[in-house]
Amino acid sequence: MLRSLRGLVAMSVVVGIVGSVASTCVLAQHTEGGHMPKTIAQSLFDGKDLSGWQNASGGKPGAGWVIEDGALVREKPSGDLWTKRRFGDFVLDLEFKTEGNSGIFIRTGNPRDCVQTGLEIQVLDPQRKPSMHSCGALYDALAPTKEVTKKDQWSHAVITAVGSKLTIVINGEKIIDTNLDHWTTPGKNPDGTKNKYNKALKDFPREGHIGLQDHGAKVAYRNIKIKPAQ
């Protein structure tokens, strides 16, 4: 009986040690090197500073980009704002409020030539009908299915890029669901209309910087988060 008891205690100790080691290994998989689990969104702007952002040349962001009430606001001419990091397949989630023209660039290979090396999702105050230049459009390439932007209020956007597939949801409405591989000809959209791009969109980078455009209007962004697309 005593021998059995000792054996039982020894086994419990071993199980406890193994369990502890296993837990430590699982934790290490999630935290080693600062990497978070893929299902958790990472903040690109914490509402406090611009440490993760730069100008098009890789320098300090322009002074006209300021922080107000936890939002990133373009108050004065400052140039576009770019993430220091580059992203490929992702889900970008943010809110915006604008008094005029701005845009969200994704997968931009060269911020100094953003128009020809990145995709722009238009940010604009509400228009009477959707077009290739209205809010939520894949700029100059594809119009949103409807106009859903809120005037003088925060709008919520979710942009998902996976390989050649691109979807855009604004205020809960899916307004873009497309495949970039359909753009096979420079300067031309799949429906035959013209665009301003020197390359076919299928040949644009599939990885690059995310940018917030300074196009002369006051615009604000907040709650900017990103996670790898599953």
Distance in angstroms (rounded) separating the CA atoms of residues 100 and 119: 19
C-beta separation of 112 from 56 below 8 A: yes
* CATH number at 41-228: 2.60.120.560
Residues of the chain with pLDDT > 70, as a percent, come to: 83
Q: Name the β-bridge partners of 228.
A: 90
Q: What is the arithmetic mean of pLDDT over 81-98?
A: 98
Task: Indicate the SS3 state at residue 68.
Answer: strand
pLDDT exceeds 80 at position 153: yes
C-beta separation of 109 from 118 below 8 A: yes
Q: What is the arithmetic mean of pLDDT over 161-169?
A: 98
| Residue 202 confidence class, pLDDT cut points 50, 70, 90 | very high
Distance in angstroms (rounded) separating the CA atoms of residues 65 and 52: 13
Determine the pLDDT at residue 33. Answer: 30
Q: Which amino acid is at 75?
A: E
Q: Name the β-bridge partners of 186.
A: none
Q: What is the arithmetic mean of pLDDT over 145-162?
A: 97
Closest CA relative to residue 125, chosen from 114, 141, 136, 138: 136
* pLDDT digits 0-9 by tens, 11-54: 443 334 334 333 333 322 332 333 444 568 899 998 999 999 99
* pLDDT digits 0-9 by tens, 96-134: 999 999 999 999 999 999 999 999 999 999 999 999 999
Q: What is the arithmetic mean of pLDDT over 73-102?
A: 96
Model pTM?
0.83
- Parse the chain into domains and list their residue ranges: 1-35, 41-228
Task: Indicate the SS3 state at residue 128.
Answer: coil
